[in-house]
Amino acid sequence: MGASQSGPVYMFQDLAQKTGFSIEQIKNLHNRFMYLTQDEDTLRRKHLENISNLALNPIRRQIIEAFFDKRNMGEKGKGCLQEIGFEEFVTVLSFFRPPKPRTADEDMKNIKKEKLRFLFNMHDTDNDGIITLDEYRRVVEELLSSYETIGAETAKAISDAAMLEVASVTVGQMGPDEFYEGITFEQFMQILKDVEIETKMNIHFWNLDTRTMQCGK
Amino acid sequence: KKCEKPCSVFGIWPSVQCFISFGFHLIPRLSSIVPESCLLIVVGLLVGGLMKLVGEIPPVLESKIFFLYLLPPIILDAGYFLPIRQFTENLGTILMFAVVGTLWNAFFVGGLLYGVCQLEGHRLVTVDLLSCLLFGSIISAVDPVAVLAVFEEIHINELLHILVFGESLLNDAVTVVLYHLFEEYSSVGSITVMDVFLGIVCFLVVSLGGIVVGAIYGILAAFTSRFTSHTRVIEPLFVFVYSYMAYLSAEVFHLSGIMALIACGAVMRPYVEANISHKSHTTIKYFLKMWSSVSDTLIFIFLGVSTVAGPHEWNWTFVMATLIFCLVARVLGVVGLTFVINKFRIVKLTSKDQFIIAYGGLRGAIAFSLVYLLKTEHFPMRNMFLTAIITVIFFTVFVQGMTIRPLVDLLAVKKKQETKRSINEEIHTQFLDHLLTGIEDICGHYGHHHWKDKLNRFNKKYVKKCLIAGERSKEPQLIAFYHKMEMKQAIELVESGGGAKFPSALPSTVSMQNIQPKKPPQDRALPQLSKAREEEIRKILRTNLQRTRQRLRSYNRHTLVADPYEDGWNEILIKRKKMKELEKKMNNYLTVPAPPPDSPTIARARLASDPQAWGLKSVTESIPTIKVDLASPQSPESVNMVDEFGKKGSQSKASKEEEGGLTMKVPSPTNQRKDKTADEDNDKEPQQRLMRCLSDPGPTAEEEDEDEAFLP
């Protein structure tokens, strides 16, 4: 912070335009970013791991990875980054911005697609564009990881059932020799079309200063 | 003589109701235009008119009967099946509408009516401010009975439904407080600021007190249900008794009985359902629906009869003014409140939503009963109030109730989604919950998800351990959902008679085989077959399957290809315990039959894997499989089943023999068990007993329409 007070303002405006947040919200997020990184310039994984509330979350690994995933940054590249700047931080968070009230249907569809893409990327860890059975199994295992008594077989059974369902719904008829590779993005969109992602996958970004709320560390 | 009262109640009214339902469904067009509640009121009017003609005094809806016997079942039904998720997500909005909205309505209507009364002069001047305010407070409350009756039929989307319905439930506290406040003070004659302050305190006490009372009884009921594993038959009774006690206790202390009932039902449900048997759950569900339906009908009929009977005093100005002010107040209130609420909501309420909310503000029998309770000594204009209220009720129920459906269609308001919850959606809903909580933590603010997560954690750690019996206390929601889904599928398949048609839209030939990554071909014990021969065999098997499918041991799709040896012995032992539980639970249902006969997957599976491998063991392997027994272990029927199976087994074997080629060995269960499951104790007995023919449902098959989610 300190000397470069005017610089960030332009950056903020750019970001605001790019991501759709308001200037106030970006300022708050910047404060939060500084808080998390303890005034460094870039955010690393360990900064996010330090948030104590996050430690209780069963899917924290995937959430943290999502912040460092190149695919979410709007680039064509694949792979992960080791550290991200404020711009990337806000870009990832913009996936959770609620759509503005008077959004046209077409835009809503795009927003929904983007959010689903984010979810898809979280599941598809090897970047091949398909969620394989193993990847899905891992997702279910992580979801159930907070329950100690549940073994791997249950997760396996559930993920098998889920894959079966996806295949049944999207592909329908398959001969016995055909092998279902995995869930593609289109199929992912199809099975989740009833979940209303565009209204559910949002959090409230307040316009107030959140610095005063002591949470996390 | 002594039979007269019961005779009239149990004889006349239900028969009237049957007659109506019968007629209603004979004329389907009528039911699409006129909501049932309207028709019932009309019938009530007719009956009342008839009785008056005959010379008898038609019975009026006694407030005591209404509040003690007719109202609780409806509210309990609503509270028990309240969709908790949507309710809590929109709680802020609902509270705003219920509290602020009702207050606004009450004062607006009351105040303006007073003004009109003063202006009008002659008869109306005697109506003082407090009476007007009292009247306003009674008439401003949206009625849950009427809302339920109308909204049930229009299948509107869940958000709007829960908003209007939640409001109608929660405004009871406001109504109670205002009612008692104004009633007491109108005898005194004036109100001071202190009284207003007291009123606010009173409101908090009434509402929170009601909720606390309900929650206590709910927890007691949940705790009791933990120990009812030996007295399954009376489990439903606990639910009803505790809920009713909660209602009565709240009413005794002048707290809000409705809120107590809602709190009781909502609190006890997740725990009770984890503890009680499936049959008890069905009993509870159907009894609640039955009672609430009867109450509903009786209320509307009585309303019609009371209209004919009750002492009336028609005053054009007053009645018209009431009606107009009510409507105006409602619209203004909704619009104003939405403006404020939308600043805090993520999903904003559109003007279409606002219109429906305003239009759905129906008044009903509660208002009528409250006015009826007023004593004429204190309120000389009581009859006028009665008339006005009846007019408003009629207007809202008839006009608004009848027109809301075409309006919903006209405005293209989103309707309720009828699709079943799939396991994928469930997985992702949970995933989203955790994701959003995580993002909130990263962003650093305590939002809705954060608190919900904290509550869930607390629930899991402490509460569930106390209130849920045994192993199920540690069961995550996903697993529970999965079990439920499997059970539903099993039941559906039984109902469809095990026919080739599956309940799902398209018969899918996708099976586990298509999903499992290709394994290296195992050593075949069978000789290599040429492609042509394989095809031939497959064809034969396919036709055979169609015939004998029903007689063979059925498999859960998921266990089909899984190599039973893969997971090792230890797994079996660990799973044994889980299987025991599942068996206990699913004593009377059948397994999920195999995939449709046209798919050669079964045949293929049998060719590829060890023929002995698919047997009881593969069912034991995977935990969530539903395994069914025809009867409980001690039932004498079991003996017959084994014999029957033996017979059928040999039958199928015989028919196989003649076809030549491969014979599908139907393994005898006892052999199987001796080989593989030597360690398992006799509890595995039930597995021996085979599912009976799917073609013959038998006496224990239950007809269920599982339209409601078992667990939230």
Domain assignments of chain B as residue spans, ordered by start: 3-411
Q: Which amino acid is at B97?
A: F
Q: Any idea which of A2-11, B98-107, B212-221, B277-286 has the lowest mean pLDDT?
A: A2-11
pLDDT tops 90 at residue A64: no
Measured between beta carbons, the chain A residues lying within 8 angstroms of B438 are: 54, 57, 59-60, 63
Q: What is the pLDDT of residue B335?
A: 93
Complex ipTM = 0.89
Closest CA to B613 of B681, B547, B665, B655: B665
What tens digit of pLDDT does each residue of A113-147 get?
888 888 888 888 887 888 888 888 888 888 877 76
3-class SS letters over B38-86? HHHHHHHHHHHHHHHHHCCCCCCCCHHHHHHHHHHHHHHHHHHCCCHHH
Task: pLDDT band for B689, please (50, 70, 90 cuts).
Answer: very low
pLDDT tops 80 at residue B399: yes
Q: Does B11 contact A at CB distance below 8 Å?
A: no
pLDDT tops 90 at residue B330: yes
Measured between beta carbons, the chain A residues lying within 8 angstroms of B346 are: 98, 199, 202-204
* Cβ pairs bridging A and B (under 8 Å): 201
For testing contact with chain B, the best of A46, A90, A158 (most B CBs within 10 A): A158
Percent of chain B, pLDDT > 70? 65
pTM over 0.95: no
Mean pLDDT within B14-19? 72
Closest CA to B622 of A107, A158, A49, A117: A158
Mean pLDDT within B382-390? 86
pLDDT tops 90 at residue B246: yes
> How does the average pLDDT of chain B come out, rounded?
72
DSSP type of residue B591: P
Q: Does A50 contact B at CB distance below 8 Å?
A: no
Interatomic CA distance for residues B515 and B510, integer angstroms: 8
* C-alpha torsion sign, points B86, B88, B91, B92: negative
Fold exhibited by the domain B3-411: Na+/H+ antiporter like fold (1.20.1530)
Residue B437 in tokens: 């909580």
Interatomic CA distance for residues B311 and B316, integer angstroms: 16
Measured between beta carbons, the chain B residues lying within 8 angstroms of A53 are: 441, 450
Measured between beta carbons, the chain B residues lying within 8 angstroms of A158 are: 423, 427, 478-479, 482, 624
pLDDT tops 90 at residue B248: yes
DSSP type of residue B565: T
Interatomic CA distance for residues A180 and A171, integer angstroms: 9
Q: What is the pLDDT of residue B241?
A: 92
Q: How far is CA B62 from the centre of its chain?
A: 30
Mean pLDDT within B139-159? 87
Smallest CA–CA separation between B511 and chain A, in Å?
A: 7
- CA atoms within a 13 Å half-sphere pointing along the CA-CB vector of B82: 34
Interatomic CA distance for residues B538 and B599, integer angstroms: 10
Taking a contact as any Cβ pair under 8 Å apart, which residues of chain B between 340 and 369 contact chain A? 342, 346-348, 350
Residue B579 dihedral angles phi and psi, to the nearest 5°: -65, -35
Interatomic CA distance for residues A68 and B711, integer angstroms: 37
Q: Does A102 contact B at CB distance below 8 Å?
A: no
Specify the higher pLDDT residue, B678 or B247.
Answer: B247
- Where are the extended beta strands (E) located within A5-162? 43-44, 83-84
Q: Any idea which of A94-103, B320-329, B515-524 has the lowest mean pLDDT?
A: B515-524
Task: pLDDT band for B264, please (50, 70, 90 cuts).
Answer: very high
Q: What is the pLDDT of residue B438?
A: 85
* Chain A residue closest in CA terms to B347: A199
pLDDT tops 70 at residue B577: no
Interatomic CA distance for residues B294 and B77, integer angstroms: 12
Mean pLDDT within A87-101? 82
Residue B276 in tokens: 């009680």
Closest CA to B585 of B540, B624, B547: B624
Measured between beta carbons, the chain B residues lying within 8 angstroms of A146 are: 476
pLDDT tops 50 at residue B627: no
**Residues B621/B567, Cβ–Cβ less than 8 Å:** yes
For testing contact with chain A, the best of B455, B514, B541, B626 (most A CBs within 10 A): B514
Q: What is the pLDDT of residue B217?
A: 93
Residue A151 in tokens: 């073994």
For testing contact with chain A, the best of B158, B435, B458, B506 (most A CBs within 10 A): B435
Q: Does A10 contact B at CB distance below 8 Å?
A: no
